[in-house]
Structure 1
Amino acid sequence: MLYFRYPFSDQIFTTDETLVTKSVRFVSFDTNEILDFNGNINEVSLDEFSGNQIFSDTVPSVLNNFKEENEIDYLEKITQVINFAKENDLSKLVISRRKLVDFSNDKINLSQTFLNLSQSYPNAFVYLFVKNGKCWIGAFSEVLGKFNKKTSEFETMSLAGTIPVNEDWTNKEIEEQQPVTDYIANILKDYSVEINQSETYDHPSGNIKHLRTDFKAKIDREDLEKVISELHPTPAVCGFPKEFCRNAISEFENYSRSFYAGYIKVETDETIQYFVNLRCAEFFKNAALLYVGGGITADSSPDKEWQETELKAGAILKNLSFN
């Protein structure tokens, strides 16, 4: 079962699971885990969606013996990461954490949570799925890629740096976003002779904002998956250099990110879109794990990084509907 909503849309869609055609695909951060939703993509009316409400007590899996990383442990880890970034002259290394929401004595209305997220984040791709014992919800607006089948135009964005919406940018955020922009530009120039790059501007997302730079380029259809494989994971969710940072992440994070910081592919007759899976949560019958992270640089402050992850966790947390 899958429901999703495109950015800046009021329509809710699902797949009918009747065809072999793979319409929607979830790919994990390490690309080793893939979950496909087959069939035609059909619109679902709000009345139909609301009339078939889904609750957390119907999720088959249970979370047991989970030890949450507390603030002291996280600050100690981030201090190590900052030193690691300095020693290895890294422009950025993205480290995540999982925030626990225990609702053993309650339950979550997952359908209403989906609607809450859709209302709170109109510019986000919002989804809810339950399949193979897994249940995830997410809402984020970073586009890994969008390909127009008729015009062969490819769009992507550099989105990084995070501060509260009412604060001003510092060198830390600017220097965090620039490697993402450079990384994307260097990849696209191998596949296109004409690349349009926008100015960098603010991208609000609820209570926080990011720095954003847009790209447009003409590419060949047969190169699309190559481009995506090179873009993922971008420095915004991994760091740079990519392979070095991927290895470092496995050392500093003692768990699998699963679908967090992976991507979602949605294919229709007209377009193929790829959305980065951030601001997401994994649900169980009795609890949820909110996945959040931040880009660590030599200039990072452990305390500010903790506050940033708390702000990001609020994207899901404040929209949970308890019953």
Structure 2
Amino acid sequence: MSAVEQALQDEAICHATGVRQLILTFYSPQPLPLPAWLAAQPHFPKFYWQPRDGNETVAVCGQVAQFTDPEQAGQFLQHHMDGAERLRVWGLNAFDALPQPGGAQQACLFVPRLTLHQQANTLTLTLNLSDPHALQGDLARAAAFLQQLQPASPLLPLHLTLTHACHQPDEAGWEAMLERALAAIADGAMEKVVLARKTVLTFSQPVDAWRMLAASQKVNHHCYHFLMAFSPTSAFLSASPERLFLRQGDQLTTEALAGTVAGHDDDSQAAALADWLMKSEKNQRENWLVVDDICRQLQGAAHGLDVMPPEIVRLRNVQHLRRGIHGQLRAADDAVCLARLQPTAAVAGLPRQPARRFILGHEPFARCWYAGSAGYLSRSQSEFAVSLRAAWLEGNQVHLYAGAGIVAGSDPAQEWQEIENKAAGLRTLLQDPAAQ
């Protein structure tokens, strides 16, 4: 960090205003253990990001600015476009971008103090400075921040003792909730609703979110891995297979990930299940409902939409149908993209408002960050993943979330097994040492 500390003495920086970035690039022949490094740092919030293609990893900590909705973040980026062209805003958006019941937080987005970005053999370190009057006022805070950074320590395997587990709702409650949903669908109130279950696991000792993330990265492949730590004892993490959107300039890429069947360790049996999924009328209908909703939501904001042929996404415990969707935005506005795409029909239902009302009236818990989105905004490129296969960690407890799309013909017992399979992607990490 000495090079950064020397740069803080630059006279031009001292007398500048607004936002400035100090950027250093290093050759890094071996990937650095960014989750382990981030776990050791005393600064909050902390955010770790690895896209599902695995071509980069990012660790950020501390903050110089925070926002409660994406529009605020976009205005900040636009206002500071001259002094910080590579600036990114990181964080989470709640399930429903509209004001939440009880005043729950809509988003937690922030400009970090420090970013470590690793791609190929390059490590880029970025220190952000921000002060509306003179950056000299922020230099002492930045220097103190750097002095408090700690070296990484290895992330050891999880060894936990489960003392209690419960589902919200339990299986009987799930069946009753689905029967009410199927009756509403039959009455024409909605075409589809995505219902979720929360599993609360209590352990005899605090659960380390960073160790859980490391365990997940080893076995949950082809997923976005992200973790946001709010404090030493509270964090939200996910191993999500679903992209909400990627914007590169005015080019938009999104997808419909809906339709599910179990996975299998045996390749031939997994292929047979995948073949059944591709031919399943119920699952194809569910996927097309999501495709149609995305295309309608993007009307007026994007043109030239192309829908790709269906493909199978094979994960550790489940397999999904996915169709990619590409188009050109009329304006590169991430707040608009988030407002139009979140929540998608894959996590809420159709039509959106009746499905949202049903979820609010019947699910026995608040989703908060689950089924929302996580990622970053910047001027040139932005990317968000849907917060699925997710967990909220608070001290000795882990809250696991999983959902299933309910349409006409859905069977409550089969949908219960589907959410069991989805939740197992994270639950097995906490209970099966062999999986770590």
Quickly name the TM-score band, shorter chain normalised.
0.7 to 0.9
RMSD value, Cα: 2.9
Give the TM-score of the pair, scaled to structure 1: 0.87
Structure 1 CA distance, aligned partners of 2:423 and 2:168?
Answer: 14
Which of 314, 329, 339 is the equivalent residue of 1:229? 339
Q: Which range moves more in the overlay, 77-86 or 92-101?
A: 77-86
Q: What is the deviation of 1:266? A: 1.1
Structure 2 CA distance, aligned partners of 1:247 and 1:193?
Answer: 30
Number of residues of Structure 1 aligned to a counterpart in Structure 2? 313
Are the aligned partners of 1:56 and 1:283 in contact in 2 as well (CA < 8 Å)? no
Structure 2 CA distance, aligned partners of 1:134 and 1:112?
Answer: 14
The answer to whether the aligner puts 1:102 opposite 2:202 as a matched pair is yes
Q: Which range moves more in the overlay, 271-280 or 69-78?
A: 69-78
Q: Which range moves more in the overlay, 224-233 or 136-145?
A: 224-233
Which of 138, 143, 156 is the equivalent residue of 2:238? 138
Structure 1 CA distance, aligned partners of 2:357 and 2:157?
Answer: 38
Give the TM-score of the pair, scaled to structure 2: 0.65
Q: Could you list the runs of 5+ residues in structure 1 that have no partner in the other structure? A: 58-63
Secondary structure in 2 matching 1:194: strand
Which of 91, 113, 118 is the equivalent residue of 1:25? 91
| Equivalence for 2:328 | 218
| Equivalence for 2:258 | 160
Secondary structure in 2 matching 1:318: helix
Which of 368, 382, 393 is the equivalent residue of 1:258? 368
| Equivalence for 1:2 | 47
Are the aligned partners of 2:59 and 2:115 in contact in 1 as well (CA < 8 Å)? yes
Are the aligned partners of 2:209 and 2:393 in contact in 1 as well (CA < 8 Å)? no
Task: In structure 2, give the amino acid aligned to 1:69.
Answer: P
Structure 1 CA distance, aligned partners of 2:159 and 2:198?
Answer: 19
Change (3 A) 1:313 1:263: same
Are the aligned partners of 1:56 and 1:284 in contact in 2 as well (CA < 8 Å)? no
Report 1 or 2 for greater relative contact order, CA contacts < 8 Å, sequence distance ≥ 6: 1
Structure 2 CA distance, aligned partners of 1:142 and 1:320?
Answer: 23
Change (3 A) 1:184 1:79: same
| Equivalence for 2:222 | 123
Structure 2 CA distance, aligned partners of 1:224 and 1:263?
Answer: 13
Q: What is the deviation of 1:261? A: 0.5
Q: Could you list the runs of 5+ residues in structure 2 that have no partner in the other structure? A: 1-45, 66-86, 100-104, 124-150, 264-269
Q: How does 1:85-100 map to 2 (within 5 A)?
A: 85-88=185-188, 90-100=190-200
Secondary structure in 1 matching 2:399: strand
Change (3 A) 1:195 1:68: closer
The answer to whether the aligner puts 1:36 opposite 2:102 as a matched pair is no
Change (3 A) 1:54 1:135: farther
| Equivalence for 1:113 | 212
| Equivalence for 1:61 | none
| Equivalence for 1:240 | 350
Change (3 A) 1:11 1:215: closer
Please identify the structure whose Cα radius of gyration is greater.
Answer: 2
Q: What is the deviation of 1:255? A: 2.0
